[in-house]
Amino acid sequence: MSVCCAYVVCGLAGILTGCGPRSALRPERGLIVSIPKLVTRGTTWRGWQAIEQSNGLTTLRHVPGIGGRTMSLEINGYDCLLVFPDQEGTTYPADSRQRSVHFGGHYSCIGPETKWNVHEQAFNPHAGPYQHQIDTRSATEHVVTLTSKPGTWRGATYQIIRTITVRTATTHVTVDEGIYNCGAEPLEFYLWDFTQIDALDRTKPDCSLRNLHVYVPLPPGGAPGRYDVLFCAKPEVREQFNEELAKDVLDLRYVGGQCKIASHASRWWLACVDHDSGWTYVKTFEPESAAKFVDGNGPIEVYTSEHDRQNHEAFIEMELLTGIDTYPPGGVLQQREHWYLTTCFGPVVGLTDVGITAERLKARRMRQGGSTGQVGASGLVTTGETQRAGESVEVTGRYGVFWLGSVRVWFLDASGNTLAQSPGVRIDPRRELRLRQTLTAPPGSVRAVLVVLDHNGRAVGTLDAVALGSS
């Protein structure tokens, strides 16, 4: 199973292989950072007994007593996960079937929807205590496991287990989810995964709407119809769909209207950005090339609620669905999900497993008198001139990063060899990265690659890249 399904900008998968000893460097003086301690503890939070995981960059809170939900994802003091105010601190018995109970946060259940909707499960996903285990033996990663009791509904008996792993020096969180067929007969189902985002700014007296955008990958090709509008109550809501932002990315701005869409992209990710606070949440599934979907749903769905001003409710649901399959008695559907938090004021035009891109990497050749020749992703030099030895290049871009460490620009030749590296620039997920460096590109450089290094100077991934043209 691969580590992450996030795609790599500009087709640079594998660029970090074969780079020789340059792929691991000792951090420069001034880039050495203090790594916050990893802490997992029990706490009382908003009236619930919760488990809190924090690595100094981000804080997660899980509540076993309400179906093992993750109810909090926090960075810089901002937490955009939904907690329905009328349910705060409330719990229900495991066999409770209150059909209208919603707590918010993140939870999982099974489909297809024609047989099991979110209220018709083998046990109520909105209630019932989960067992929990905490593993803090490692100083670099802590693991929380949440386990439901087996439950039976409509002849199906199954159990859900969620394992959440938080690590030091990164906001990358791994969520392993398993649904076990505990019955005596084969069971056909898929995993149905929800993250509910609060669309209201509850720090303001009027609880006005946050400036939320959801970025959704689309199938390649640019043709119309690459996503399905399952319903859209008001035409003006659909007017907030922007397909012109970036190739194969839909920008859906929340304006308080009810709507639901489904994308059948092969890259399974969703990103939600508060353009005012910079709070950014990304979640991904690992793709299944042979997955089969039913009900016209999946694998990627976004639901936006009607803004209920009287009850102060407005939210976005980010949904990921696995393909449907049949599991024998004792069989299990296992899925790994990746969560990332960062600070970036949007938009999201690119995503890798080390960060998001808001403004693509650009390189401008510095000319006498201060003029520049801009180099874009096509590799064309607008001045028509070829690269000169030791030429100065201004490199710019804007990003949200998932690691505490540094970034460097690597200059590569036509064979992919690293010719030179820039000095490191310190990065922190709690701050948006606005890159602007004037660098010297050595002779033979044809590509500039923006590489993320962790706090130990180890290269962990590629953030972006741009062609420099022929030398």
Residue 36 token pair: 């916050």
pLDDT of residue 98: 55
Residue 97 token pair: 């079937």
Left if phi > 0, otherwise alpha if psi is -120 to 50, otherwise beta: which for 23? Answer: alpha
Give the architecture (CATH level 2) of 354-467.
Distorted Sandwich (2.70)
The residues with which 452 forms a beta bridge, in sequence order, are 407, 461
CA distance 179 to 181: 7
CA distance 151 to 131: 14
pLDDT of residue 238: 84
CA distance 144 to 130: 12
pLDDT of residue 401: 98
Those residues of the chain that have pLDDT short of 50 are 1-24, 368-388, 470-471
**What digits encode the pLDDT tens for the residues 343-358?**
999 999 999 999 999 9
**pTM for the predicted model, two decimal places:** 0.89
Burial (CB count <10 Å: 0-12, 13-18, 19+), residue 80: buried
pLDDT of residue 26: 56
As assigned by CATH, the class of the 34-343 domain is: mainly beta
| Ranges of each domain in the chain | 34-343, 354-467
Residue matched to tokens 């810089």? 76
